[in-house]
């Protein structure tokens, strides 16, 4: 990867998350970049990479703490409730890759 600037790494991480991870609503796939959630997710998960603590349980815990407003903000649900299992696995794989490379 050869990126040492934290901002560059965070932007690259957000882009990769945004292109590969989606929320599933009634079998409709909305990628996190389209939902404008990719940067927030990357920022929240980045400390796991820098502290070498990426694992599925920690990632799920972070995803549970990210609220997603629905119904025009009338209600909120945790992001984890919208992610299919394969997207959770993909997200952990992406984070592990970045952890190895920085």
Under-70 pLDDT residues of the chain: 1-4
Question: What is the per-residue pLDDT across 22-38, written as a single tens digit (0 to 9) for each?
Answer: 999 999 999 999 999 99
Give Cα separations from 29 to 3, 34, 57, 70 (angstroms). Answer: 31, 10, 24, 16
Tell me the β-bridge partners of 30: 23
Tell me the β-bridge partners of 24: 29
Contact between 46 and 59 (Cβ < 8 Å):
no
Question: Which pLDDT belongs to residue 52?
Answer: 94
Structure token pair of residue 82? 């919208």
């Amino acid at each position: 990867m050869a990126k040492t600037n934290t901002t560059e790494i965070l932007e690259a991480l957000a882009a990769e998350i945004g292109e590969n991870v989606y929320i599933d609503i009634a079998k409709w796939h909305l990628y996190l970049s389209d939902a404008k959630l990719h940067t927030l997710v990357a920022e929240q998960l980045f400390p796991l990479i820098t502290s070498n603590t990426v694992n599925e349980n920690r990632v799920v815990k972070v995803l549970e703490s990210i609220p997603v407003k629905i119904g025009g903000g009338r209600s909120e649900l945790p992001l984890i409730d919208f992610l299919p299992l394969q997207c959770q696995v993909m997200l952990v794989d992406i984070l592990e890759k970045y952890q190895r490379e920085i």
